Structure 1
Amino acid sequence: MSLNAIAQKLMTQGQGILAADESEPTIAKRFAKINLPSTLELRRDYREMLFRSTQAMQNYISGVILTEETLEQSAADGTTFRAILADADVIPGIKVDRGAFPMPGDTGEKITEGLDGLRQRLARYGELGAGFAKWRAVITINDIAPTRNNIRANAHALARYAILCQEAGIVPVVEPEVVGDGEPGNHSMERCAQVTGEVLENVFKELRLAGVDLSGMLLKPNMILPGINSRERPSVDEVARRTVEVLRQQVPAAVPGIAFLSGGQTDEEATAHLSAMNQIEGKPWPLTFSYGRALQNVALRLWAGRRENFPQAQAAFTHRAHMNSLAALGQWTNALDRAA
């Protein structure tokens, strides 16, 4: 399959990407909230519960972002997760960055690491069947950030990652996230729009300089939202309109699609905002979801570490996937969400 064909398949109408690439520290925090230890067996069971949600995976999910552990892992019965995903016609992806670390200086910013040895790792991931990859850059807003240096450094790393992916025949998902939950987290919606626009401008400049084929990549951006501690309470339509405006200004039409991160929103907020964006006409690219928590929250609590809870947890996951499928079509309503 060509890079563009893989990207187009990931953007299949009414489908989106499940982000199941939580690092061990992150999934340990989520398990701790339901009083579970983060053991290899429990992590395996949790991912198995999600991947064997047949209706969700076959109808609403086009790709799954995995960790290195999960890409090579098998379910309790010995079936590889890759085989389970293949049976549902879902493309496996892989998180390839090594995490965001403090940027040198006193700005409170972060730089994502993981370029060393990436060419060799990508070759291995390709052999294991990964069709796409993901690299997340973290952009902080505070009184002195983001600095131009931080934006440029993260944009350059994203471009280097993306061209290495394409060299390996793997579609890069480029994720520059302007975070809303950093300190102090009281920035305005307009400040988020200004920073997101600047970040995207720099990212696409670096992608072009690196020779990245824009038709063989996907963008995974944040939505335009005020900081988590801001007093602003924009309407769903305001968030949708402002987000699409920023994307129209900065994202070339050659990009096959945009798959949003949920960025700390509630499950229903992430769904409502996506649906409202898809009701706006004249966009040059399709918009869908690439959610982690916003797809998994309820299912995680219902599973609670017990295999006998698989059916009810899978039903909750399927419901959330269905609601976001409707949102990707611009057809979601609060009444539909609550009626199920």
Structure 2
Amino acid sequence: MKALELVDTARRMMMAGKGLLAMDESNPTCNQRFAALGIPQTEEARRAWRELIVTTPGLADSISGAILYDETIHQSCADGTPFVKVLTEAGIVVGVKVDTGAKALAGHAGEKVTEGLDGLRERLQAYAAIGARFAKWRAVIAIGAGLPSVACITANAHALARYAALCQEAGLVPVVEPEVLMTGDHTLQRCAEVGAQVLHEVFEQLHVQGVLLEGIVLKPNMLLPGLACSHQDGLDEVADATVTGLLRAVPAAVAGVAFLSGGQSAELASARLSAMNQRFKSQLPWALTFSFARAIQQPALEIWRGEPGNVAQAQRALQHRAACNSDARQGEYLAAMDDLGKSSVLG
């Protein structure tokens, strides 16, 4: 029965025309974004921002699941309604970030391994009891001189697989997130080489741990040149490299692929996802969608700035970005939609 439940939840998360909203920033990261915009770095400000998100009208038209942070999953709206209840009643599946962050990998300078396996079984059971139906764990892989090492890739893939097995034991769908970072001056080709190494090892470890592939969602990075690379490839080149890499490494049994935005601008993340679906949709064995954070939230955050009077306009901006990504999921996003959307938001 648990396997059937996992598959059903994964299918709901990958519902046609929708994607995942990542609102699982840690408190320090959220506070940094607030500080840059002059917003108080307090628990109440974080709660108010998250209430703005979960109560956005029409959010469920484009969003099938929301990834929360530990603080967030326990918070409520000003009227006392838990965020979990608001989302669930809207038809949005609730998830939660469960790793405890990337720490320095001993013996490997410049590399990290994600921690959080200790006590994870009990934490997953507690999250499931309050309404979570999926979880997320992020591993980070840096590209550089001599990086990544085999040790870094193997350690992170093993941790992702053990986390995924524990999730499925608890009845939660694991979102498996191996992120090859955009920082650096590497080329698109180098990113593709590392991406292939990472995905092959991740799926080898998932197999070893007995993880049900139909009950997971993969959350990879798009294959991109480093931010400091002198040549920035176009939409079609990125789409071709990314989807070709996935087709060669990701088993058809996987429930879906939901890209992280990884620091891309909101518009570029949408355009790249749309190009992939437009060029390859008929060839894909799994759904290809989004699991964006800043690429959906940042425009709304810049409007809100902690001011109650800006909530409605910020929510319109959030709903617009979510709708743009819904269009991208279907290969139908056009940059002109943002110009029209901005007029609507301001209006």
* Worse overlay, 84-93 or 194-203: 84-93
- Deviation, 1:337, is 2.3
Kindly indicate whether the alpha-carbon contact (under 8 Å) linking 1:107 and 1:145 is maintained by their aligned counterparts in 2: no
Alignment of 1:122-141 (within 5 A): 122-141=124-143
What does residue 53 of structure 1 align with? 56
2-side partners of 1:218 and 1:115: how far apart? 19
**Does the residue aligned with 2:295 lie in a helix, a strand or coil?**
helix
What value does the CA root-mean-square deviation take over the aligned residues?
Answer: 0.8
User: Could you report, residue by residue, the CA deviation over 1:109-160 in whole angstroms, capped at 9, with x for unpaired residues?
Assistant: 0100000000000000010110000000000111011000000000000000
User: Could you report, residue by residue, the CA deviation over 1:74-123 in whole angstroms, capped at 9, with x for unpaired residues?
Assistant: 11111110111022110110000000011112430010000000000000
Q: Does 1:30 align with 2:29?
A: no
What does residue 344 of structure 2 align with? none
Kindly indicate whether the alpha-carbon contact (under 8 Å) linking 2:40 and 2:306 is maintained by their aligned counterparts in 1: no
TM-score (norm 1): 0.98
Alignment of 1:248-267 (within 5 A): 248-267=247-266
> Aligned letter for 1:76?
A
- Given candidates 172, 175, 192, the residue that maps to 2:174 is 172
**Does the residue aligned with 1:302 lie in a helix, a strand or coil?**
helix
Structure 1: 5+ residue stretches without partners: none
2-side partners of 1:335 and 1:94: how far apart? 34
What does residue 5 of structure 1 align with? 8
Q: Does 1:213 align with 2:205?
A: no
Kindly indicate whether the alpha-carbon contact (under 8 Å) linking 2:113 and 2:139 is maintained by their aligned counterparts in 1: yes
> Aligned letter for 2:128?
G
Kindly indicate whether the alpha-carbon contact (under 8 Å) linking 2:139 and 2:160 is maintained by their aligned counterparts in 1: yes
Kindly indicate whether the alpha-carbon contact (under 8 Å) linking 1:20 and 1:66 is maintained by their aligned counterparts in 2: yes
Kindly indicate whether the alpha-carbon contact (under 8 Å) linking 2:187 and 2:231 is maintained by their aligned counterparts in 1: yes
Give the number of equivalent residue pairs: 336
- Deviation, 1:233, is 1.4
Kindly indicate whether the alpha-carbon contact (under 8 Å) linking 1:98 and 1:113 is maintained by their aligned counterparts in 2: yes
2-side partners of 1:337 and 1:238: how far apart? 23
**Does the residue aligned with 1:297 lie in a helix, a strand or coil?**
helix
What does residue 16 of structure 1 align with? 19
- Deviation, 1:38, is 1.6
* Worse overlay, 276-285 or 324-333: 276-285
What does residue 309 of structure 1 align with? 310
TM-score (norm 2): 0.96
> Aligned letter for 2:98?
V
What does residue 74 of structure 2 align with? 72
- Deviation, 1:36, is 1.8
**Does the residue aligned with 2:283 lie in a helix, a strand or coil?**
coil
**Does the residue aligned with 1:2 lie in a helix, a strand or coil?**
helix
Structure 2: 5+ residue stretches without partners: 342-347
What does residue 345 of structure 2 align with? none
**Does the residue aligned with 2:138 lie in a helix, a strand or coil?**
strand
Q: Does 1:200 align with 2:199?
A: yes
2-side partners of 1:88 and 1:106: how far apart? 45
1-side partners of 2:69 and 2:260: how far apart? 17
> Aligned letter for 1:259?
A
**Does the residue aligned with 1:278 lie in a helix, a strand or coil?**
helix
* Worse overlay, 313-322 or 103-112: 103-112
Q: Percent identity?
A: 52
What does residue 284 of structure 2 align with? 283
Alignment of 1:288-299 (within 5 A): 288-299=289-300
Kindly indicate whether the alpha-carbon contact (under 8 Å) linking 1:102 and 1:108 is maintained by their aligned counterparts in 2: yes
2-side partners of 1:338 and 1:331: how far apart? 15
Kindly indicate whether the alpha-carbon contact (under 8 Å) linking 2:22 and 2:67 is maintained by their aligned counterparts in 1: yes
1-side partners of 2:79 and 2:131: how far apart? 21
2-side partners of 1:240 and 1:107: how far apart? 32
Tell me which stretches of 4 or more aligned residues in structure 1 moved more than 4 Å: none
> Aligned letter for 2:132?
A
